[in-house]
Amino acid sequence: MSTVYRNFFGFSKKPFSADLEIKNIIQTSEIKAAHDRFDYAVELGAIALVTGEIGAGKSTALRWIVAQLHPARFRPVWITASSGSILEVYRQILAEFEIKTATSSRATLTRMIRKQISELAQNRKRQPVLIIDEASLLRLEVFAELHTITQFEGDSKPWMPIILVGQNNLADNLLHRSATPLASRIVARSHFASVNREKMAAYLKHHLAIAGMKNSPFEETAITAIFQGSGGIFRKANHLARGALIAAAAEQSQVVNVDHVRLAASEIF
C-alpha cells in the first residue's frame, strides 16, 4: 500500500516521515524562542524547560538547537528517559560518555559522572550540556537527586546545564517539594503549543516539498480538515496527511479532498 501512493503521486521518498535531516527542519518562531532560552540556560550553567504536547515538535526543535552548538566548545549529552528511574538516568549519561559500569551504587555512579564532567570542562575545555528528553516520565526521586551531579561544592563556576524536555506535566512535577534544589535553578521555559491553520498549511507544504512534490495535491478544505483533526499537532497531522494521500491514490485521484482526510481519520483515530 505504501509504495502505491508514493508512485501514484511521484514522491521521491516517504512523505511526512519522522527522520528529518537537520537542514529540513523548519526554523519556526517557537524553535527560535527555544534556542534563545537554551543558550541563556547554557551560558548560566542553569536549567531550561521545554514543554509541549506529544508530537508538537519538541524533540525536533532540540535536535536543531543541539546541531547549532559549536562542537569544539560543547559536548551535548542527550538521553531519553523511559523507565524514569535514577539508575537508568545515571547509566544513560555514562553510556553517552562511553563509560561502562555494572555498579548499582548511586554514590559510585554519581562520582563517575562528576569526574567525567569536571575532566571535560577542565582538560578539554568542552562544556557538557545535558539534554533529557521525555523528562516528564522521570520519577520524583530523579528530580530530587539530579542536581547533585552538576553541583560542585566550593566552586562557583557552572558545570553542567540541563535542558529538560517533556509533556506539560513536567512543570507540575517540578513543583514537588523534593524537587526544589533542581527547580530553583530553572531560568527559562519554552512551550510548544499547537499551531494555527496558517502554520499547519506551511508545514504540510514543506513536508511535501522535502519528499519531492512541489505542488500540493491538498484542497484548501482538506488542509482545514487536517488542521482541525490534528488539533494543530504536527505528528497527528503527519498521519492524517499520509492517510489522506493513500485514500486519494486508492481512488486514482490526483487531488486530495476533505473526504480523503475523513477516511484517513476514521482509520487511524
Ligand X SMILES: Nc1ncnc2c1ncn2[C@@H]1O[C@H](COP(=O)(O)OP(=O)(O)O)[C@@H](O)[C@H]1O
Binding mask 167-206 for ligand X (x = CB under 6 A): -------------------------x--------------
Closest CB to Mg ion among residues 59, 257: 59
| Among residues 57, 76, 128, 243, the one that binds ligand X under rule CB under 6 A | 57
| Among residues 4, 54, 67, 202, the one that binds ligand X under rule CB under 6 A | 54
- 59 lies in the site for Mg ion, by CB under 5 A: yes
The CA–CA distances, whole Å, from 45 to 16, 162, 168, 188, 191 equal 36, 8, 23, 12, 20
The interface region with ligand X, picked from 47-55, 111-119, 174-182, 249-257 by CB under 6 A, is 47-55
Minimum CB–partner distance for residue 65 and ligand X (Å): 11
Retrieve residue 167's grid coordinates: 509533556
Please state, in angstroms and rounded to a whole number, the distance separating the CA atoms of residues 162 and 64: 17
Binding partner of residue 114 among ligand X, Mg ion, none, CB cut-off 5 to 8 Å per kind? none
Local structure of 226: helix, strand or coil: helix
Closest CB to Mg ion among residues 58, 75: 58
> What's phi and psi for 77, nearest 5 deg?
-120, 100
Minimum CB–partner distance for residue 232 and ligand X (Å): 12
Closest CB to Mg ion among residues 59, 150: 59
Give the number of other CB atoms < 10 A from CB of residue 99: 14
Binding partner of residue 51 among Mg ion, ligand X, none, CB cut-off 5 to 8 Å per kind? none
Number of helices (H) and strands (E) in the chain: give both, helices first: 13, 5
Q: Which residues pair with 184 in a beta bridge?
A: none
- 26 lies in the site for ligand X, by CB under 6 A: yes
Edge-to-edge order in the sheet of strand 127-133: 74-80, 127-133, 162-166, 47-52, 186-192
> To 10 degrees, what angle do helices 197-210 and 234-250 make?
60
> What's phi and psi for 79, nearest 5 deg?
-125, 155
Minimum CB–partner distance for residue 192 and ligand X (Å): 6
Q: Which of 55, 50, 24, 64 is nearest to 234 (CA)?
A: 55
Closest CB to ligand X among residues 5, 234: 234
- 51 lies in the site for ligand X, by CB under 6 A: no
Binding partner of residue 20 among ligand X, Mg ion, none, CB cut-off 5 to 8 Å per kind? ligand X
Summarize as ranges the residues that interact with ligand X (CB under 6 A).
Answer: 18, 20, 25-26, 28, 31, 52, 54-60, 192, 234-235, 238
Summarize as ranges the residues that interact with Mg ion (CB under 5 A).
Answer: 59
